[in-house]
Amino acid sequence: DYRNGGYHEVFIGDVLNQQYKVCHKLGWGHFSTVWLCEILDSRRSPFPNKFVAIKIVRSQPNYTKAAKEEISMLKTITECDKENSNHVSHLLDFFSVTGRNGTHHCLVFETLGLNILNLLRLYDPTSLPQETFSVMYRTFPRIYGVPQPIVKLICIQTLRALHYLHSPPISLIHTDLKPENILLEWPVVFCIDDRQGIKNADAFFGDCNPDHDIHRHSKFKKYRIKLSDFGNSIHSPESGMAVLEKGPHAHSLLFQKPPYPPHRIQTRQYRAPESILGCTPSPGTDLWSFGCMAFELVTGRVLFNPRGKGEGDLEWNDGYDDQDDNSAYDRDDDHLTLVKAILHTDPPEKLLNAGFWSEDLFDIFTRQQRRGIKRKERELADLIMGWTKVEKELIIQQKQIDINQPNARELIYPTPVLQFEAFLLKCLTWSPVDRYSAFELLNDDWLKLTTDDYEFDGLNLIQSTTNPPSPPKRPKHRYQSGF
Ligand code: ADP
Ligand code: MG
């Protein structure tokens, strides 16, 4: 992709805009590459930082246009966050460079640390030492994600960022919320090789040892994040606030079929049903992605990873290649079937009527999906536990639980799992108007840190007393799907 219209060719040591010396690659996305740069003459520089992160956007006209919009939105986001308290990344400067592949916009940000996908990889059980693995996963042996106290901190801060973004005067919808776009505020930055994970991590900022620093920073009180990548953000419809407060106006606005085909928004695995159907996006659209992400952080598995023809494979960062072209159904068909399999209801008529593409996906008379494979109904709590139907039956048998008694679920599942399920179901509703807002979710019980959480001290506090179970075998895919 380093060709005409693509990424800008950058070499370590290059000097950008006569003041930023390129030191290291920090990351990349569908739109850009991001580089750690040293400020050459920091006395002349208007900001106190010694290093900055520079996002160099691809040169194709659509990317350039998007970059201009990103700059204008970032200006407002940065200016209105004077106290730096809303967990959003700040723009410091911008300029453009011209190279062999065209002219590229460059956005200068404060330097942040790992993104949350890198963090998930650190906690991948197959990459952990046996002992650590057994300590972390003793209580809920099938939950392999990031430890829950840390997930809660990430969730709280992400919700604060979303609340800030969704409310006036900003009134934006992020439309690409996913682990790659949330960054840790660690002072240490690692460059992670996509395939090798942390083992080959190349640490810099002094001579820190990556293992050492990960452990030091795993004290969860230090976890601070910032929401970033506003390259796909859009303005809320005029009545953004009405939509946020879910007034009657919100209903009429959200349930109006757009007159022209809407843009495809969100990355496949985090895409809300209304986006699949082609309805007008709303702040609630971000909350769906948030729910999918929270599930992934806790379990280490992707909640919805639909199969079929069409865009959305996990193997590539933003997934636009490697399509399953021989299938008789589209990825959209399977995606909606998967949603139905955990919500146990059909999409409401109002929502279908408001979707530009609904008729391609659903028969308008029977209201049934036109294509798709059958998917078994699943309980969200089972997906959280990583239980198959058979495994769940076994647990019920072993514990001799009568599933007809009213509190059966409380006997089957641990309380935190039921709390987490309830939390997720506030984000995962067919209709965006039924979803909780970021602000409302901040009051949820699951998010409240308990005394147990405070005693949690990263990877190495609790000592294992039982024989360590062996780490599970992992599929070759980035993560196993929830289903
Ligand atoms: P894109 O729009 O191309 O997806 P992003 O803004 O998401 O670009 O940046 C791509 C990746 O670069 C991120 O996932 C992150 O790993 C890294 N990155 C972006 N901004 C910063 C920053 N300020 N500090 C450190 N790393 C960053
Ligand atoms: Mg990104």
Alpha carbon nearest to ligand 1 atom 15, residue: 27
Instruction: Name the most confidently modeled range: 109-123, 178-192, 208-222, 362-376.
Output: 362-376
Tell me: pLDDT of 345 over 90. Answer: yes
Q: Determine the pLDDT at residue 198.
A: 37
Instruction: Name the most confidently modeled range: 112-126, 252-266, 279-293.
Output: 279-293
432: which residues sit within 8 A by CB, 6+ positions away? Answer: 254, 272, 274, 279, 282, 284, 285, 287, 288
Tell me: pLDDT of 118 over 60. Answer: yes
- Tell me the pLDDT band of 23, cut-offs 50, 70 and 90: confident
CA distance linking residue 369 with residue 383, whole number of Å: 24
Tell me: pLDDT of 204 over 70. Answer: no
Instruction: Name the most confidently modeled range: 145-149, 187-191, 305-309.
Output: 305-309
Q: What is the mean pLDDT of residues 198-227?
A: 49
Among 143-147, 207-211, 422-426, the range scoring the smallest mean pLDDT is 207-211
- Tell me the pLDDT band of 177, cut-offs 50, 70 and 90: very high
431 lines ligand 1 (CB under 6 A): no
Q: Determine the pLDDT at residue 113.
A: 82
Q: What is the mean pLDDT of residues 406-432?
A: 95
Alpha carbon nearest to ligand 1 atom 8, residue: 29
183 lines ligand 1 (CB under 6 A): yes
Tell me: pLDDT of 318 over 60. Answer: no
Please, what is the Cα angle at 468 between 463 and 469, to 5 degrees?
A: 140
- Tell me the pLDDT band of 436, cut-offs 50, 70 and 90: very high
- Tell me the pLDDT band of 463, cut-offs 50, 70 and 90: very low
Q: What is the mean pLDDT of residues 459-469?
A: 35
Higher pLDDT, 207 or 405: 405
228 lines ligand 1 (CB under 6 A): yes
> Counting atoms of ligand 1 from 1, which one is nearest the CA of 318?
4
Tell me: pLDDT of 70 over 90. Answer: yes
311 Cα: distance to centroid of ligand 2 (angstroms): 17
Alpha carbon nearest to ligand 1 atom 4, residue: 29
- pLDDT, mean over the chain: 81
Higher pLDDT, 14 or 246: 14
Q: Determine the pLDDT at residue 467.
A: 40
Tell me: pLDDT of 453 over 80. Answer: no
- Percentage of the chain lying above the pLDDT 90 cut: 53
- Tell me the pLDDT band of 245, cut-offs 50, 70 and 90: low
> Counting atoms of ligand 1 from 1, which one is nearest the CA of 229?
6
Q: Determine the pLDDT at residue 25.
A: 86
Q: What is the mean pLDDT of residues 324-338?
A: 86
Tell me if 24 sits within 8 A of 191, measured CB to CB: yes
> Counting atoms of ligand 1 from 1, which one is nearest the CA of 180?
14
Q: Determine the pLDDT at residue 396.
A: 95
Q: What is the mean pLDDT of residues 13-18?
A: 94
Tell me: pLDDT of 310 over 90. Answer: no
CA distance linking residue 65 with residue 191, whole number of Å: 29
**Among 25, 38, 115, which is best to mutate for testing ligand 1, by the most ligand atoms less than 8 A from CB?**
115
CA distance linking residue 110 with residue 74, whole number of Å: 13
- Tell me the pLDDT band of 466, cut-offs 50, 70 and 90: very low
Instruction: Name the most confidently modeled range: 99-103, 198-202, 335-339, 413-417.
Output: 335-339
Higher pLDDT, 50 or 394: 394
Among 234-238, 453-457, 467-471, the range scoring the smallest mean pLDDT is 467-471
Q: What is the mean pLDDT of residues 148-176?
A: 94
33 lines ligand 1 (CB under 6 A): no
Q: What is the mean pLDDT of residues 180-196?
A: 61
Q: Determine the pLDDT at residue 206.
A: 30
Tell me if 149 sits within 8 A of 456, measured CB to CB: yes
Tell me: pLDDT of 186 over 80. Answer: no
CA distance linking residue 468 with residue 340, whole number of Å: 37
Give phi and psi for 24, each to the nearest 5: -165, 150
- Percentage of the chain lying above the pLDDT 70 cut: 74
- Tell me the pLDDT band of 222, cut-offs 50, 70 and 90: low
**Among 229, 265, 318, which is best to mutate for testing ligand 1, by the most ligand atoms less than 8 A from CB?**
229
Alpha carbon nearest to ligand 1 atom 19, residue: 34
Q: From the CB of residue 474, how many other CB atoms can be counted at a distance below 10 Å? A: 15
175 lines ligand 1 (CB under 6 A): no
231 lines ligand 1 (CB under 6 A): yes
Tell me if 219 sits within 8 A of 457, measured CB to CB: yes
Q: How far is CA 436 from CA 244, 253, 284, 290, 439, in A?
A: 9, 18, 8, 11, 8
Task: List the catalytic residues.
Answer: 176
Tell me: pLDDT of 219 over 80. Answer: no
Tell me: pLDDT of 127 over 80. Answer: no
Q: Determine the pLDDT at residue 132.
A: 57
Alpha carbon nearest to ligand 1 atom 25, residue: 112
Tell me: pLDDT of 214 over 60. Answer: no
- Tell me the pLDDT band of 451, cut-offs 50, 70 and 90: low
Residue 87 zone, left/alpha/beta (φ > 0; ψ -120 to 50; rest): left
89 lines ligand 1 (CB under 6 A): yes
- Tell me the pLDDT band of 459, cut-offs 50, 70 and 90: very low
Alpha carbon nearest to ligand 1 atom 12, residue: 27
Among 32-41, 129-138, 141-150, 256-265, the range scoring the smallest mean pLDDT is 129-138
176 lines ligand 1 (CB under 6 A): no
Q: Determine the pLDDT at residue 122.
A: 74
Which ipTM score applies to this complex? 0.99
Here the tokens at position 350 are 């109002």
